Structure 1
Amino acid sequence: GVKERSTGKVHAVVANKNECGKQLTGKQLFKVLHKICKDNTTVMTDQFSDYNILDKDSEKKGKIVVTQYEGSVIEETGLVKMDLLGLKTLSIIKGALENIRLSRNIEINIDTIPMDDPVTYRLYGEGKTVGTFQFESAGMQKYLHELQPSTFEDLIAMNALYRPGPMENIPKFIDRKQGREPIEYDIPVMEKYLKDTYGITVYQEQVMLLSRLLANFTRGESDTLRKAMGKKLRDKLDHMKPKFIEGGNKNGYTLEVLEKIWADWEKFASYAFNKSHATCYSWIAYQTAYLKANYPAEYMAAVMSRNASNITEITKLMDECKAMGIMVLGPDVNESNLKFTVTAAGNIRFGLGAIKGVGEGAVQSIIDERAANGLFTGIFDFVQRVNLNTCNKKNMECLALAGGFDGFGELKREQYFVVNPKKEVFLETLIRYGNRYQMDKAMVTNSLFGGENVIEVSTPDIPSAERWNDLERLNREKELIGIYL
């Protein structure tokens, strides 16, 4: 729990994030100056300066108060240090759930999805994890294909093992799961805590539990051992070794076996990882894999929306969509929203907001008009209805070049840019026509006189144009979208 220094009251650490938020509300939060991670927060309930040497973070122009204690010793001053991590994956999951709601009219509680979903484990076993959390690297895909994970424990173990150091144990882990290598324990009772990892020590928690089982360590001593391993504190490890050997020997285990176990643990200390961290990350990873396996278009649309500004990532994700049998269609003023969306046919439509030069305000005006009065029937209907102050010439040029008007079929992209004798391109003629039409419509609507409300504004003639070759059209498309669609 979190203890208040001024009152001595202890606040229990609860699982419900809303309750946590209520209990921490009103407490003083200060950023901790940390050499490794600067996203740590220390909680105080009374005057912080009574217990810490404070400063102002120069990187933030003095706006954030920091403690000058180094991160590794801050807890020794009597404070509680917490790492607060922000993950864009949570936004991706939220976006995917919204896409599913809109496209399939299904509400999903992501926290109650089945943890034994065969479709999800098939995705892991095939190594098709591009776009999912934590498990998408090429090396991880290879190991997943070899492992054929079938339980959540397998995923947790792989998350902990796929790091420099423990990675060398992955082949042994896979061989033991597949029955190609016997599962062995230095002492039979160790199976109690090593069964889920096929006899291989993977987590700090396993060492803690085994130290208590084999050598009668107290909970406090086993936690000290965990810290010593996690922070590579050689002095503390050397100090604890005699106690482990002595305690294990009293329990009837031979010195030779105990020495081997301790030697294995010392080697393990160089890459020790805690299961709680691996479990939380694996749970988020599983959620992303579940969504990709069961709602592929909705999930990939959310991933692409979150990476819209990263052309390299978008290109990779588009290749993945192609491999999944999902078409990524170009932008369209009648189907696209601000972000990537799923069409009625189950494909993904490029978001208008991903087009360079088309601002969010212009996109929103198009979406609002479409929602209020239906789909646009053509380019003339478009300029008659859209707010041309918000969606201006520059915005429309970018929409035309990126293919946003291609769905109308009335004009080819090159026709919007034909220059007339007045030295204006046809797109300017369209905008002038749209402004005149909207002005006349407003006058007719506000007229005090009766009669038929007829708007007499002639539509401009569509000019002919020399057709752009494919390369020219694609280059303009790439300039605005960043990739060839």
Structure 2
Amino acid sequence: AWIAYQTAYLKAHYPAEYMAAVLSNNMNDIKSITFFMEECKRMRLPVLGPDVNESFYKFSVNKDNAVRFGMGAIKGVGHGAVKTIVENRKEDGHYKSIFDLAKRIDLRAANKRAFEGLANAGGFDCWPETHRAQYFANDGDGISFLEKAVKYGAKHQENENSAQVSLFGAASDVQIAEPVVPPCEDWGTMEKLSREREVVGIYISGHPLDDFKTEMKTFCNGSIDLFNDLEAVVNKEITFGGVVTDVQHRVSKQGKGWAIFTIEDYRDSFEFRIFGEDYLKFRHFFVINSFVYVRAFVREGWVNRDTGKKGDPRIQFNSFQLLHDVMDTYAKKLSIQLNIRDLEKDKIAVLYDLIKFHEGNQTLTFVVYDNAEKIKVQMPSRKNKIKISQELLDGLKENDVMYKLN
């Protein structure tokens, strides 16, 4: 009880420090890290990715009272690499670029793999002049820009250590040209997030499903974790969304195709199996990194005639659909909710422009309410129909307009 009181006090009065300590204590347990990062979101406590100019080996709290990811959680970045990065930063200040970093730190402790891990996890995002994709790009010579930067740092250190002296007795000051940063397109969101997960085990800067939050919240009645206990959902249809993270297409001894595929959502991931006609009907959805919306019915297991024992529940796949298409298919009506005391000319003008810009075929309703008088009036729009899209919903949110989707 005493320990519970102490931890509750720390969480209430020093939330960032408390969560940083809890995350540090569970650095080697990905499931726990995921759970505690979700708790940080619930507490509205920002968790920032690793940063060579701010991170330490473990999770820490920065000057803005945000939790900063520890560099020790990145694969390939060991104690030695973090130690030299932190010590040089304390001694000579923040690193100004990848070249400055490569010149200053001990490259025997921080090797090429450590640099690649830091780049993939976003550890170099503090330098806006270069983006993540550029570190792995090359000019056609087969050597990545990151390797060139490390070689540049090694050459610079070698020159300094040799302490060459000119004929006139002064220390030589040989300038080595910095490698050119190759121009290339930045990675898309999915590429960034998958690389983060590859080196850390979790998504740091976001989640692949963040673009489909509205669809997940409005049109899904369940989540992936329900499939861990099928007995609890027997004879129920579960609608859920997620990203396909693994697919294995196989052929049975009878020559029939089937597949094992993994879908992940915000809470969990689950490995499904699909056979027969269902496989032939839905196999084109089984592509890694595709976003799917699934209707699945959980049936009771068959009863063995000989033993009388009931088998495990079975999953029947009723439909697959891309999450991109869900809004168009299922969104039928948008109700815009307005407080009568907030109805000002500017707000009405913004709403008018938004509705005109998103004209379509779906129903629009206004709900005007007055909390003080406890009055609510529903007013369906007879003339104006709209096209419900994420862009429209984002526009309403930006202007603090409440809405309900049906």
- TM-score between the two structures when normalised by the length of structure 1: 0.41
Larger Rg: 1
Larger strand proportion, structure 1 or 2? 2
Larger helix proportion, structure 1 or 2? 1
- TM-score between the two structures when normalised by the length of structure 2: 0.48
